[in-house]
Amino acid sequence: MHPIDPNVMNANLPENERRAYLTFAVALTQISRATIAQFRAQGFKTELKPDASFVTEVDLAVERALRAAISQRYPSHGIRGEELAASNDDSEFQWILDPIDGTDNFAHGIPTFGTIIALHYGGEPLVGVLDHPDLQRTYSAARGLGAFCNERKISVVDHADAGGAPIVAVTAPANFMKTNDLVCLTAIQCAFPNTRTYRDCFAHSLALDGSVRAVVDVNLNLWDIAATRVLVEEAGGRFETVRTLAHEGKIFYSVVFGAPDIVAQLLPIVELSPA
Amino acid sequence: MHPIDPNVMNANLPENERRAYLTFAVALTQISRATIAQFRAQGFKTELKPDASFVTEVDLAVERALRAAISQRYPSHGIRGEELAASNDDSEFQWILDPIDGTDNFAHGIPTFGTIIALHYGGEPLVGVLDHPDLQRTYSAARGLGAFCNERKISVVDHADAGGAPIVAVTAPANFMKTNDLVCLTAIQCAFPNTRTYRDCFAHSLALDGSVRAVVDVNLNLWDIAATRVLVEEAGGRFETVRTLAHEGKIFYSVVFGAPDIVAQLLPIVELSPA
C-alpha cells in the first residue's frame, strides 16, 4: 500500500469514499467504450483543430456522455475536458477528461489510443483511469489504494527482471519540436537507444507495470497528464514535472515518470528549453 | 488485383495452389497462438543471445511447433527460422519463420509483438502472414490474391484521408546505431515529425492499411522481413530494399515501404552508411 501523505487533502477522505470515486471512474469507461463502438459502427467525421491536433465527432460525443454521467451522480463537482467548456470551476472536486487521447492514432486505426479520466481533489490527483478499448485494458488507481490493470495489481518493477536494455518511451519528435527541443530527444535516444514512440497515453499505461521503464512526454495539456501521477505513484513509481510553460492562456506540462532508478538517470539528460 | 509479373516464377503457380498455401499459412497461426497461450499460462524463461537480442522458451517452442506442422504437410519444403537450423535448403519452396518478432516487447508484456510466417518460391515471396495474438489481428497476403487484415481486404491508402501530418514508423535508435546511422534517424524525424516506434513487425502491419503511411526499418534479418514485401505489394504499396550488409555470414536488410508517395519522399532522406 502506498503511504499517504497527511499533508495532502486527499488523505482526509476516508477509504470508502476514495474507493467509491474509483469504482465510479472505472464504470465510466463502459460509457466511453459504448460511445466509441457506436460511432465506429456508423462512421464519423474527423477535422483538424486550429492547433493542428485532431478532433472527431467521437471525441465530442464521448466527452458529452461522460459529462452527463458525472453531472448526474455528482452535480456539484467541476468538470474540465479537452473539447468543451469547464463547469463548476470552484469545486474542490474536479473531473478532468480526455475523451480520446491519441485521436490521430484513433482516426488512423492504431489501437493504442485511450480514454483518460481523472478526479482531482483540493488540487491534488485522487483517481486516475487510462482505458484502452481496443486492447481490453483498463489501468486504474486511487490515492492509497494501489494501481491496477484490469483486476491485476501492478507495480513499476513488474517486468524489471525481463532483462535487456531498458525500454524508454518518448513522445513523437513533433512534440519536442514545438519548443525546439529536438536535441533533447536525440540525447535521450543516445542514452536509451531502446526507445518506443506511441504518441498517446499507451506509453503512460505501459510504464505502470514496467513494460516500459520510464516515459518522457513533453508539451502536454492538463487533460493528457491529469490521471498519470496518481497511477504512477500508486504503482511505486516516481513522477516529475520538469517544465510548465504558459502560452496563450494555456499551460503545457513536460514530465518524466516511471521506475525511480531510470527516472533518476533521465532527469539530467532531459534538458529542455527554459520556460 | 495486383498485376502478376510473368517473369516471376510465382506466376507459374495456379491460383488454387497459391490460395492453398495462403490458407495453410494462416491456419498455422492457430498453432503459434496456442503455444504462446500455453507458455504464458505456465510461465517461461527469457535469456539474452550473444547478439544481445532476446530469446525465450516460447520462441523455441513456437518455431518447433510451426516446423512440425509444415514438415508434416509439405515434407519436401525448406524451412528457415530465427532459432533453429535450416532444413531442405535446396527446395524451391522455402518457409521462413520468426516465431516471435519483438521478443523484447513480448517479454515485457507489450502487446504489439507478432509471429511472422513467409513462403518464398523460386527466391520470390509468395505468401506473407503477420499475426498479432494480443491484438486479434492477422495480416495475410499471397501473390495476386490481395492483402487482408482478418477478413477485411486492405490497401495502403485506406486511411489516407484521415488527414494530419503523415505518420511514419521508424525502428528504434538501437537499430540505426548498429551502423552509426543515428543522423539518418534524425533526418527522418525532422522531415516526418509524426513518427512512431514500435520496434516489432506491428509497424509493418500498420503500413498495410495506411494506419502508418510508411516504415523505415534497418539492419534486419531475413526472417524479420520475409513476409512483408508480398503483403505491401498486394496492398498496393511500394517496397524498397535500400541496403544489404553482409556481416559474419549473415545478411542484414534495410528497407523502406508503404504508400508510394511517402516512400518516394523518404528514399532521398534515408541515407545509410555505405555497405
pLDDT tens, residue by residue, A232-272: 999 999 999 999 999 888 899 999 999 999 999 999 999 89
3-class secondary structure for A74-102? CCCCEEEECCCCCECCCCCEEEEEEEEEC
Confidence check: pLDDT of B273 > 50: yes
Q: What is the pLDDT of residue B173?
A: 98
In the predicted model, what is the mean pLDDT of chain A? 94
Residue A117 three-state SS = strand
Which ipTM did the prediction report? 0.93
Count the alpha carbons within 13 Å of B104 in the hemisphere toward its beta carbon. 21
Q: CB-CB: which of A104, A206, A210 is closest to B164? A: A104
Contact B217, B202 (CB under 8 A): no
Distance CA B202, CA B193 (A): 19
Confidence check: pLDDT of B108 > 80: yes
Q: What is the pLDDT of residue B82?
A: 87
Of A49-58, A109-118, A198-207, B155-164, the least confident? A49-58
Backbone phi and psi for residue A250, each to the nearest 5 degrees, phi listed first: -115, 160
pLDDT one-digit tens code per residue, B215-224: 999 999 999 9
Residues A108, B212: C-beta atoms closer than 8 Å: yes
Find chain A residues with C-beta within 8 A of B190's C-beta: 173, 182
In the predicted model, what is the mean pLDDT of chain B? 94
Confidence check: pLDDT of B7 > 60: no
Across the A/B interface, how many CB contacts are shorter than 8 Å? 116
Confidence check: pLDDT of A90 > 70: yes
Of A71-80, B46-55, B56-65, B190-199, the least confident? B46-55
Q: What is the pLDDT of residue A46?
A: 84
B138-165 mean pLDDT: 95
Residues B158, A190: C-beta atoms closer than 8 Å: no
Cβ of A208: how many Cβ atoms within 10 Å? Answer: 30
Q: Scanning the structure block, which residue is given the C-alpha cell 521503464? A: A213
- Residues whose CB is less than 8 angstroms from the CB of residue A249 and which lie 6 or more positions away in sequence, other chains included: none
Q: What is the pLDDT of residue B35?
A: 98
* Residue of B44, B53, B110 to mutate, testing the A interface (most A Cβ within 10 Å of its Cβ): B110
Residues B211, A109: C-beta atoms closer than 8 Å: yes
Confidence check: pLDDT of A170 > 70: yes
Q: What is the pLDDT of residue B2?
A: 41
Confidence check: pLDDT of B9 > 80: no
Q: What is the pLDDT of residue B107?
A: 94
Q: What is the pLDDT of residue A3?
A: 44
Q: What is the pLDDT of residue B197?
A: 98
A7-19 mean pLDDT: 79
Confidence check: pLDDT of A2 > 50: no
Which position has the higher pLDDT, A44 or A19? A19
Which position has the higher pLDDT, A6 or A54? A54
B117-127 mean pLDDT: 96
Report which of B241, B245, B151, B256 is spatially closest to residue B207, judged by C-alpha positions.
Answer: B256
Distance from CA of A24 to the nearest CA of B (A): 27
Backbone phi and psi for residue A154, each to the nearest 5 degrees, phi listed first: -125, 160
B157-169 mean pLDDT: 92
Confidence check: pLDDT of B27 > 50: yes
Return the DSSP state at A9. G
Residues B195, A177: C-beta atoms closer than 8 Å: no
pLDDT one-digit tens code per residue, B222-245: 999 999 999 999 999 999 999 999
Confidence check: pLDDT of A190 > 50: yes
Confidence check: pLDDT of A96 > 50: yes
Q: What is the pLDDT of residue A47?
A: 81
Residues B210, A108: C-beta atoms closer than 8 Å: yes
Distance CA A33, CA A261 (A): 35
Residues A164, B109: C-beta atoms closer than 8 Å: no
Distance CA B23, CA B29 (A): 10
Nearest CA in chain A to B169: A197
Count the alpha carbons within 13 Å of A2 in the hemisphere toward its beta carbon. 29
Q: What is the pLDDT of residue B55?
A: 82
Distance CA A65, CA B141 (A): 40
Q: What is the pLDDT of residue A4?
A: 46
- Residues in chain A whose beta carbon is closer than 8 A to a beta carbon of chain B? 46-48, 52, 54, 104, 107-111, 134-135, 158-159, 162-165, 167, 172-174, 177, 182, 185-186, 189-190, 193-199, 206, 209-212
A175-200 mean pLDDT: 96
**Torsion angle defined by CA atoms of residues B185, B188, B194 and B199, in that order, rounded to the nearest 10 degrees:** -40
Confidence check: pLDDT of B254 > 80: yes
Q: What is the pLDDT of residue A147?
A: 98
Residues B48, A194: C-beta atoms closer than 8 Å: no
Find chain B residues with C-beta within 8 A of A211's C-beta: 108-110
Helix or strand holding residue A140 (H, E)? strand A137-142
Which position has the higher pLDDT, B115 or B56? B115
Confidence check: pLDDT of A11 > 80: no
Contact B151, B137 (CB under 8 A): no
Q: What is the pLDDT of residue A10?
A: 63
Confidence check: pLDDT of B58 > 90: yes
Confidence check: pLDDT of B131 > 70: yes
Residues A111, B135: C-beta atoms closer than 8 Å: yes
Q: Scanning the structure block, which residue is given the C-alpha cell 519436401? A: B76
